[in-house]
Protein backbone atom coordinates (compact mmCIF):
# COMPACT_ATOMS: atom_id res chain seq x y z
CA UNK A 1 0.00 0.00 0.00
CA UNK A 2 1.16 3.51 -0.75
CA UNK A 3 1.56 6.08 1.97
CA UNK A 4 -1.30 8.13 0.56
CA UNK A 5 -3.65 5.19 0.76
CA UNK A 6 -2.85 4.53 4.40
CA UNK A 7 -3.57 8.18 5.07
CA UNK A 8 -6.89 7.83 3.22
CA UNK A 9 -7.87 5.06 5.59
CA UNK A 10 -6.74 7.06 8.61
CA UNK A 11 -8.76 10.08 7.53
CA UNK A 12 -11.85 7.98 6.97
CA UNK A 13 -11.54 6.41 10.43
CA UNK A 14 -10.96 9.77 12.07
CA UNK A 15 -13.95 11.42 10.38
CA UNK A 16 -16.20 8.57 11.35
CA UNK A 17 -14.99 8.81 14.95
CA UNK A 18 -15.59 12.56 15.05
CA UNK A 19 -19.08 12.10 13.71
CA UNK A 20 -19.95 9.45 16.30
CA UNK A 21 -18.61 11.40 19.21
CA UNK A 22 -19.31 15.03 18.38
CA UNK A 23 -22.05 14.74 15.74
CA UNK A 24 -20.07 16.77 13.16
CA UNK A 25 -20.02 14.90 9.88
CA UNK A 26 -17.17 16.08 7.72
CA UNK A 27 -17.81 13.17 5.40
CA UNK A 28 -20.56 15.31 3.85
CA UNK A 29 -17.94 17.79 2.64
CA UNK A 30 -16.12 17.65 -0.70
CA UNK A 31 -13.07 15.56 0.02
CA UNK A 32 -10.31 17.35 -1.83
CA UNK A 33 -10.61 20.56 0.19
CA UNK A 34 -11.11 18.78 3.50
CA UNK A 35 -8.07 16.57 2.89
CA UNK A 36 -5.99 19.61 2.06
CA UNK A 37 -6.95 21.39 5.21
CA UNK A 38 -6.53 18.26 7.33
CA UNK A 39 -3.01 17.75 5.96
CA UNK A 40 -2.14 21.32 6.83
CA UNK A 41 -3.56 20.92 10.27
CA UNK A 42 -1.52 17.75 10.78
CA UNK A 43 1.67 19.35 9.50
CA UNK A 44 1.26 22.16 12.04
CA UNK A 45 0.29 19.83 14.87
CA UNK A 46 2.51 17.89 17.22
CA UNK A 47 1.38 14.62 15.62
CA UNK A 48 3.10 12.62 12.90
CA UNK A 49 0.00 10.80 11.65
CA UNK A 50 -3.77 11.03 11.88
CA UNK A 51 -3.82 7.79 13.86
CA UNK A 52 -1.69 9.43 16.52
CA UNK A 53 -3.88 12.51 16.59
CA UNK A 54 -7.06 10.48 16.74
CA UNK A 55 -6.63 9.32 20.31
CA UNK A 56 -6.61 12.87 21.63
CA UNK A 57 -9.19 14.23 19.19
CA UNK A 58 -11.73 11.63 20.25
CA UNK A 59 -11.23 12.23 23.96
CA UNK A 60 -10.64 15.94 24.30
CA UNK A 61 -13.33 18.32 23.10
CA UNK A 62 -10.91 21.24 23.25
CA UNK A 63 -8.61 19.47 20.81
CA UNK A 64 -11.55 18.68 18.56
CA UNK A 65 -12.68 22.30 18.56
CA UNK A 66 -9.27 23.50 17.60
CA UNK A 67 -9.32 21.01 14.73
CA UNK A 68 -12.69 22.39 13.62
CA UNK A 69 -11.32 25.92 13.73
CA UNK A 70 -8.32 24.76 11.76
CA UNK A 71 -10.23 23.08 8.97
CA UNK A 72 -13.28 25.25 8.47
CA UNK A 73 -13.22 28.30 6.25
CA UNK A 74 -15.01 31.35 7.53
CA UNK A 75 -13.60 34.00 5.24
CA UNK A 76 -16.14 36.61 4.29
CA UNK A 77 -16.25 40.34 3.72
CA UNK A 78 -18.55 43.35 3.60
CA UNK A 79 -20.32 43.56 0.22
CA UNK A 80 -18.48 40.50 -1.08
CA UNK A 81 -18.97 40.45 -4.86
CA UNK A 82 -20.24 44.05 -5.15
CA UNK A 83 -21.98 43.32 -8.46
CA UNK A 84 -24.17 40.82 -6.62
CA UNK A 85 -25.23 43.38 -4.01
CA UNK A 86 -25.81 45.95 -6.74
CA UNK A 87 -28.18 43.54 -8.47
CA UNK A 88 -30.00 42.85 -5.19
CA UNK A 89 -30.37 46.57 -4.66
CA UNK A 90 -31.59 47.32 -8.14
CA UNK A 91 -33.54 44.23 -9.11
CA UNK A 92 -34.67 42.31 -6.03
CA UNK A 93 -35.36 45.10 -3.55
CA UNK A 94 -38.12 46.66 -5.69
CA UNK A 95 -40.04 43.38 -5.25
CA UNK A 96 -39.24 43.14 -1.54
CA UNK A 97 -40.53 46.68 -1.04
CA UNK A 98 -44.01 45.61 -2.08
CA UNK A 99 -44.30 43.65 1.20
CA UNK A 100 -45.09 45.39 4.47
CA UNK A 101 -42.43 43.27 6.20
CA UNK A 102 -39.80 40.82 4.92
CA UNK A 103 -37.83 37.98 6.45
CA UNK A 104 -34.38 37.00 5.25
CA UNK A 105 -32.21 33.99 6.10
CA UNK A 106 -28.44 34.05 5.74
CA UNK A 107 -27.38 30.41 5.92
CA UNK A 108 -23.68 29.98 6.68
CA UNK A 109 -23.22 33.62 7.64
CA UNK A 110 -19.74 33.17 9.16
CA UNK A 111 -18.80 36.39 11.00
CA UNK A 112 -21.88 38.20 9.75
CA UNK A 113 -20.54 40.64 7.15
CA UNK A 114 -23.06 39.55 4.54
CA UNK A 115 -25.98 40.17 6.91
CA UNK A 116 -24.62 43.56 7.97
CA UNK A 117 -24.13 44.51 4.32
CA UNK A 118 -27.72 43.58 3.56
CA UNK A 119 -28.96 45.58 6.56
CA UNK A 120 -27.12 48.67 5.29
CA UNK A 121 -28.55 48.16 1.83
CA UNK A 122 -32.15 47.68 2.97
CA UNK A 123 -31.98 50.71 5.26
CA UNK A 124 -30.69 52.83 2.41
CA UNK A 125 -33.44 51.60 0.14
CA UNK A 126 -36.10 52.81 2.52
CA UNK A 127 -36.90 49.52 4.25
CA UNK A 128 -35.73 50.47 7.74
CA UNK A 129 -37.83 48.73 10.38
CA UNK A 130 -39.50 46.52 7.79
CA UNK A 131 -37.23 43.52 7.81
CA UNK A 132 -35.83 40.88 10.10
CA UNK A 133 -32.80 38.71 9.35
CA UNK A 134 -31.87 35.31 10.65
CA UNK A 135 -28.16 34.72 10.24
CA UNK A 136 -27.06 31.20 11.05
CA UNK A 137 -23.91 29.12 11.05
CA UNK A 138 -22.71 25.78 12.35
CA UNK A 139 -19.74 27.39 14.06
CA UNK A 140 -20.54 29.10 17.35
CA UNK A 141 -17.20 30.85 17.56
CA UNK A 142 -17.88 32.80 14.39
CA UNK A 143 -21.45 33.51 15.48
CA UNK A 144 -20.21 35.13 18.63
CA UNK A 145 -17.94 37.35 16.57
CA UNK A 146 -20.81 38.09 14.25
CA UNK A 147 -22.89 39.32 17.18
CA UNK A 148 -20.11 41.66 18.26
CA UNK A 149 -19.93 43.26 14.82
CA UNK A 150 -16.32 44.34 15.12
CA UNK A 151 -14.13 44.46 12.02
CA UNK A 152 -10.41 45.07 11.59
CA UNK A 153 -9.91 48.72 10.69
CA UNK A 154 -7.28 47.74 8.14
CA UNK A 155 -10.03 46.22 6.00
CA UNK A 156 -12.25 49.28 5.92
CA UNK A 157 -10.71 50.78 2.83
CA UNK A 158 -11.40 47.64 0.85
CA UNK A 159 -14.90 47.33 2.31
CA UNK A 160 -15.62 50.97 1.48
CA UNK A 161 -14.66 50.31 -2.13
CA UNK A 162 -16.89 47.24 -2.20
CA UNK A 163 -19.74 49.27 -0.74
CA UNK A 164 -19.36 51.97 -3.37
CA UNK A 165 -19.16 49.45 -6.20
CA UNK A 166 -22.34 47.86 -4.90
CA UNK A 167 -24.23 51.10 -5.52
CA UNK A 168 -23.91 52.58 -2.04
CA UNK A 169 -23.83 56.36 -2.13
CA UNK A 170 -23.79 57.37 1.54
CA UNK A 171 -20.62 57.71 3.57
CA UNK A 172 -19.58 54.20 4.60
CA UNK A 173 -17.75 55.61 7.62
CA UNK A 174 -21.13 56.56 9.11
CA UNK A 175 -21.84 52.89 9.68
CA UNK A 176 -19.02 52.29 12.14
CA UNK A 177 -17.00 53.86 14.91
CA UNK A 178 -13.23 53.53 14.75
CA UNK A 179 -11.48 52.46 17.97
CA UNK A 180 -7.75 51.86 17.69
CA UNK A 181 -7.36 49.04 15.18
CA UNK A 182 -11.03 48.10 15.14
CA UNK A 183 -14.20 49.28 13.48
CA UNK A 184 -17.34 48.78 15.56
CA UNK A 185 -20.47 48.49 13.45
CA UNK A 186 -23.34 50.71 14.51
CA UNK A 187 -25.90 49.26 16.89
CA UNK A 188 -28.68 50.35 14.57
CA UNK A 189 -27.52 47.68 12.11
CA UNK A 190 -27.54 44.91 14.70
CA UNK A 191 -31.04 45.32 15.99
CA UNK A 192 -32.71 43.63 13.04
CA UNK A 193 -30.38 40.62 12.89
CA UNK A 194 -30.76 37.46 14.96
CA UNK A 195 -27.63 35.30 14.99
CA UNK A 196 -28.26 31.64 15.80
CA UNK A 197 -26.60 28.25 15.46
CA UNK A 198 -27.96 26.05 12.71
CA UNK A 199 -26.39 23.01 11.05
CA UNK A 200 -27.45 22.64 7.43
CA UNK A 201 -26.71 18.93 7.57
CA UNK A 202 -29.19 18.13 10.32
CA UNK A 203 -31.41 21.06 11.29
CA UNK A 204 -34.74 22.09 9.79
CA UNK A 205 -36.19 24.93 7.78
CA UNK A 206 -36.99 28.54 8.64
CA UNK A 207 -40.57 29.30 7.61
CA UNK A 208 -41.94 31.98 5.28
CA UNK A 209 -38.78 33.61 4.08
CA UNK A 210 -38.77 36.28 1.37
CA UNK A 211 -35.09 35.75 0.70
CA UNK A 212 -32.54 33.06 1.48
CA UNK A 213 -28.84 33.63 0.95
CA UNK A 214 -26.42 30.72 1.06
CA UNK A 215 -23.26 31.87 -0.62
CA UNK A 216 -19.95 30.06 -0.70
CA UNK A 217 -21.14 27.43 1.74
CA UNK A 218 -22.51 24.61 -0.43
CA UNK A 219 -19.49 24.59 -2.73
CA UNK A 220 -17.79 22.68 0.08
CA UNK A 221 -20.57 20.09 0.33
CA UNK A 222 -20.92 16.76 -1.43
CA UNK A 223 -23.85 16.52 -3.88
CA UNK A 224 -26.20 14.78 -1.42
CA UNK A 225 -25.82 17.47 1.22
CA UNK A 226 -26.22 20.18 -1.43
CA UNK A 227 -29.53 18.64 -2.42
CA UNK A 228 -30.62 18.55 1.20
CA UNK A 229 -29.83 22.22 1.66
CA UNK A 230 -31.65 23.23 -1.50
CA UNK A 231 -34.75 21.32 -0.38
CA UNK A 232 -34.52 23.13 2.93
CA UNK A 233 -34.28 26.53 1.27
CA UNK A 234 -37.09 25.69 -1.10
CA UNK A 235 -39.42 24.78 1.72
CA UNK A 236 -38.41 27.91 3.63
CA UNK A 237 -39.12 30.30 0.77
CA UNK A 238 -42.43 31.92 -0.10
CA UNK A 239 -43.45 31.94 -3.75
CA UNK A 240 -41.90 35.02 -5.32
CA UNK A 241 -39.05 34.79 -2.81
CA UNK A 242 -35.37 35.00 -3.74
CA UNK A 243 -32.63 32.41 -3.44
CA UNK A 244 -29.11 33.79 -3.68
CA UNK A 245 -26.13 31.51 -4.24
CA UNK A 246 -22.40 32.07 -4.62
CA UNK A 247 -21.15 33.19 -8.00
CA UNK A 248 -19.99 29.71 -9.00
CA UNK A 249 -23.05 27.85 -7.71
CA UNK A 250 -26.12 27.19 -9.85
CA UNK A 251 -29.52 25.54 -9.77
CA UNK A 252 -28.80 23.91 -13.11
CA UNK A 253 -29.37 20.18 -12.87
CA UNK A 254 -30.84 20.59 -9.36
CA UNK A 255 -34.16 19.10 -8.38
CA UNK A 256 -35.62 22.38 -7.21
CA UNK A 257 -34.26 24.17 -10.30
CA UNK A 258 -37.46 24.02 -12.30
CA UNK A 259 -39.36 26.01 -9.69
CA UNK A 260 -36.93 28.92 -10.01
CA UNK A 261 -36.07 31.50 -12.63
CA UNK A 262 -32.72 33.23 -12.62
CA UNK A 263 -33.52 36.90 -12.14
CA UNK A 264 -30.05 38.23 -12.87
CA UNK A 265 -28.23 35.49 -14.76
CA UNK A 266 -24.57 35.58 -13.99
CA UNK A 267 -25.14 36.68 -10.40
CA UNK A 268 -27.08 33.64 -9.13
CA UNK A 269 -30.14 35.49 -7.87
CA UNK A 270 -33.07 33.10 -8.39
CA UNK A 271 -36.72 33.81 -7.90
CA UNK A 272 -39.18 31.16 -6.83
CA UNK A 273 -42.09 30.85 -9.23
CA UNK A 274 -45.69 31.24 -8.14
CA UNK A 275 -47.77 28.06 -8.16
Chain contacts with ligand SAM (rule: CB under 6 A): 72-76, 80, 108-110, 114, 137-139, 142, 198-201, 215-217
Q: Is residue 223 within the footprint of another protein (CB under 8 A)?
A: yes
Selected binder of another protein within 43, 46, 48, 75 (CB under 8 A): 75
The answer to the question of residue 197 lying near another protein (CB under 8 A) is no
Q: How far is the CB of 31 from ligand SAM (least distance, A)?
A: 15
Q: Least CB distance from residue 196 to ligand SAM, whole Å?
A: 11
**Contact between residue 100 and residue 130 where contact means Cβ atoms under 8 Å apart:** yes
Residue 149 interacts with which of another protein, ligand SAM, none, CB < 5 to 8 Å by class: none
Question: Can residue 216 be called a binding residue for another protein (CB under 8 A)?
Answer: yes
Q: At what angle do helices 3-22 and 50-59 cross, to 10 degrees?
A: 10
CB within 8 Å of 109: residues ≥ 6 apart: 76, 115, 135, 136, 137, 142, 143, 146, 195
Give the pairing of strands 209-214 and 237-245: parallel
| Rounded-to-integer distance, Cα 53 and Cα 57, Å | 6
Closer by beta carbon to another protein, 179 or else 255: 255
Q: Which does 223 bind (CB under 5 to 8 A by kind): ligand SAM, another protein, none?
A: another protein
Strand partners of residue 211: 104, 242
Do the beta carbons of residue 135 and residue 209 sit within 8 Å?
no
Site residues for another protein per CB under 8 A: 2, 4-5, 30-33, 35-37, 73, 75, 216, 219-220, 223, 246, 248-250
Amino acid sequence: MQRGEVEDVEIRLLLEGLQRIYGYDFRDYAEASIRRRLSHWLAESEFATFSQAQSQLLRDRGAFESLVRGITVNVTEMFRDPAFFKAVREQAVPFLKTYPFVKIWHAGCATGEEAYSMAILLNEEGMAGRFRMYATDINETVLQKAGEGVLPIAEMQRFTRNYQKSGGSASFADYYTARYDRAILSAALKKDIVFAPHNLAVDGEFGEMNMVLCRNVMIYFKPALKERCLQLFDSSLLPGGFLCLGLKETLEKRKIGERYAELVPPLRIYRKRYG
